[in-house]
Structure 1
Amino acid sequence: MTPYSLAFYVDVVTSGTVLGLGPAASPDRVTGVLGSNFGENTFRNSMCRDYGLAEFFWDRDSARHPWSGHHFTLQVHRLAHRDRTLVNETLRARYGRFTPRLRFEKLQRLLDRRGVPLLEIPEVAANAPYFRTFWQPDSHVAVSVMGTYGEYSTPDNLRVGDVYKIQAPMAAEEVEWRRARVG
């Protein structure tokens, strides 16, 4: 992993943003930073803009209401396809080359050195034991990691210990709900 792409992931987990774009960023703000090269899926009251690696999601009460930021996801597993167009030009210009896989142990080690802990939290039943989830309590970022091989855990030829996705926000209430389900 190049130091620059690792720096991107460290920045996201530490700040809870992608280039300063938080989960609540408006569609116009996201387009202003990441550009207009995206795929868009719009349903009645929800919208997703897919930039390849990064996806941003919004919802609204009705067509008369403005879009409200819901969350963003970094689909890190997609990089295993080795398609260079999956990394947005703005991200490439800032962070350089992204390699096909992100090893969780490397990410965690860099975060630990910066005093940014990742706490393992229980996985939802449908995903356990195939995935493991780690949460950063200050930024409310969740990191999903391949836990074991199985029916749902071999997409994109990932290895156990590879990061599958990074998502924000994961509220403290969801973390407590997950802990209560297994406790």
Structure 2
Amino acid sequence: MDIDFFAAIVRTGTVLGADAGMSPQEVSRYLGDDPWDEESGGVLRWDYGLVEFCWDVKGSRFELELHRLTVSVPFEDLRARVALVAQEDSTFVHPTSGVAVHVRDGLVTRIVSTRGGRRGLDIPGDRLPAVFSAPGRYADIVESGTVLGVDADLDPSVVRRVFGEFGYRNVNEPSFWWGYGILEIFWHKRPNGLGAQGSHFTVQCHRLGAIGRRLRWTDLRAELDRRGVALVELTGYQPDPDYTEYLQPDSMIVVMVYLPDDEVHVVQSRFRMRDPNRDWSDWQAVTQSLKHALTLSPDERIAWIERKRPDEDAAGWWHQRCQLATGHACDSGAVPDHGDWVAFAFWAWELAHTLGVPPAVVAREVAAFTGALEDHHPEFDRPTADSVVQSCLEHITGAMDRTDKDLLTAAALHRHAVQDPSLLAALDRWIAIRTDLPSVSLPRW
């Protein structure tokens, strides 16, 4: 088992999000509701194999019994990853989480949490889940772009499989969202029974103040710096000077900070059809210039591009214009020359690679655009499902990074319309890998 798994437990004081301050009901949300349980002498024990949760009149705690493992965990390997302070009783304690590590013959034998919480919290809404009680857990989200392996573009059935039944929900047709404590995941319903398309998730960190677990920006930034996870400050997005937003470019996670209190306000994934790398502040002027380009011949458009393109980041400059043209073509309202806008948007994406836009990005955007046309404007010509799916699959590397996930999400929009059986089988193989990520990314014992 990965040593980093145990290091995360010691550092955060949680096991896959469950901590000692939770009631049995809350623990079951994160670890499942089928432990071996025993209650005697006023003590309730839930045994999940490697980890036991215990509740009694003094509070609650969890214990990891590492002697149950078939492999050993060297203490020095653990100590190299987390700060531990030697105690008089020969244990070692993490100074922040209070988790104690027991050692024998150079090997870790037990990991024990501090006591926390009291029983009797099994009323929904009595307290917020404490999964987000330590900077390390938030840093995991920022670094990976997921919450325990789950991100915003997975089917609701996958989210339910990993997190269980939602605690609350909201429906605002065609959108809906599910709430798991301070985590909220959003989808859009596609028309014609084509399922749901993921939009984004938000972690409402500001709610932690109600339970005295406010997340300090200084602490989160320090943990991200320790991991070497870069953040880029976003300018031109947040009109309130008390707030600042930061982007993690690889995971595409945005962190909003409330500066007066040094408090992390929200951690969220990027919104669909929004690229935080681009400056959208001049979108009206850009749209006007695109309206002019719409009237030009193909050769005149090329000349127009050569006159307008910047010396630096021509790819980003054209990517922004492609996305604006796509958004205009997908508008649900009455759009003058609507068919011309659709054709212009496809032309713009076809040209994008010559201006440096990565081919994988073009494949993803064309597939997403084609899916949006099918949903909202099926009367317009568009590429076949087979062609856009094939293009997406050609650029999937197997790393299952953000690029791979986005390509697969865009390709999956067209699964119902794929005609080639071998192409459909290839798509399904990737979908199976993608939807299994949340479970395979969680340590198993």
Same fold (TM over 0.5): yes
Residue 33 of structure 1 pairs with residue 33 of structure 2: no
Partner Cα distance (2:59, 2:8) in 1: 20
Q: Helix, strand or coil: the match of 1:110?
A: coil
Instruction: Determine the structure 2 residue equivalent to 1:106.
Output: 77
Structure-to-structure mapping, 1:123-138, within 5 angstroms? 123=89, 132-138=90-96
Which of the two has greater helix per residue?
A: 2
Partner Cα distance (2:95, 2:81) in 1: 17
Partner of residue 49 from structure 1, selected from 43, 46, 53: 46
Instruction: Note the residue ranges of structure 1 that are not aligned, 5 or more in a row.
Output: 61-67, 83-99, 112-116, 124-131, 147-159, 172-183
Deviation at 1:27, TM superposition (A): 0.4
Q: Which amino acid aligns with 2:52?
A: E
RMSD over equivalenced CA pairs, Å: 1.9
Instruction: Determine the structure 2 residue equivalent to 1:119.
Output: 85
Structure 1 window deviating more from structure 2 (35-44 vs 6-15): it is: 35-44
Instruction: Determine the structure 1 residue equivalent to 2:99.
Output: 141
Report which structure shows greater RCO (CA 8 Å, sep ≥6). Answer: 1
Partner Cα distance (2:62, 2:75) in 1: 19
Residue 74 of structure 1 pairs with residue 45 of structure 2: no
Instruction: Determine the structure 2 residue equivalent to 1:127.
Output: none
Instruction: Determine the structure 1 residue equivalent to 2:194.
Output: none
Larger radius of gyration: 2
Instruction: Determine the structure 1 residue equivalent to 2:110.
Output: 165
Partner Cα distance (1:59, 1:120) in 2: 28
Q: Which amino acid aligns with 1:38?
A: P
Instruction: Indicate how the Cα distance of structure 1 residues 30 and 69 shifts in structure 2: closer, same or farther if over 3 A, else same.
Output: farther
Instruction: Indicate how the Cα distance of structure 1 residues 26 and 34 shifts in structure 2: closer, same or farther if over 3 A, else same.
Output: same
1:41-70 CA distance string (max 9 Å, x none): 10252201011100001124xxxxxxx851
Instruction: Indicate how the Cα distance of structure 1 residues 108 and 170 shifts in structure 2: closer, same or farther if over 3 A, else same.
Output: farther
Partner of residue 23 from structure 1, selected from 20, 23, 45: 20
Q: Once superposed, which parts of structure 1, at least 4 consecutive aligned residues long, lie more than 2 Å away?
A: none
Tell whether the 8 Å contact from 2:19 to 2:27 is kept in structure 1 after alignment: no
Instruction: Indicate how the Cα distance of structure 1 residues 69 and 26 shifts in structure 2: closer, same or farther if over 3 A, else same.
Output: farther
Question: How many equivalent pairs are there?
Answer: 116
Partner Cα distance (1:119, 1:27) in 2: 30
Tell whether the 8 Å contact from 1:142 to 1:170 is kept in structure 2 after alignment: no
Q: Helix, strand or coil: the match of 2:34?
A: coil
1:141-166 CA distance string (max 9 Å, x none): 000000xxxxxxxxxxxxx1010000
Partner Cα distance (1:103, 1:45) in 2: 35
TM-score (norm 2): 0.25
Partner Cα distance (2:34, 2:110) in 1: 21
Deviation at 1:7, TM superposition (A): 1.6
Instruction: Note the residue ranges of structure 2 that are not aligned, 5 or more in a row.
Output: 117-445
Q: Helix, strand or coil: the match of 2:19?
A: coil
Partner Cα distance (1:70, 1:166) in 2: 14
Deviation at 1:170, TM superposition (A): 6.6
Tell whether the 8 Å contact from 1:140 to 1:170 is kept in structure 2 after alignment: no
Q: Which amino acid aligns with 1:119?
A: V
Q: Which amino acid aligns with 1:57?
A: C
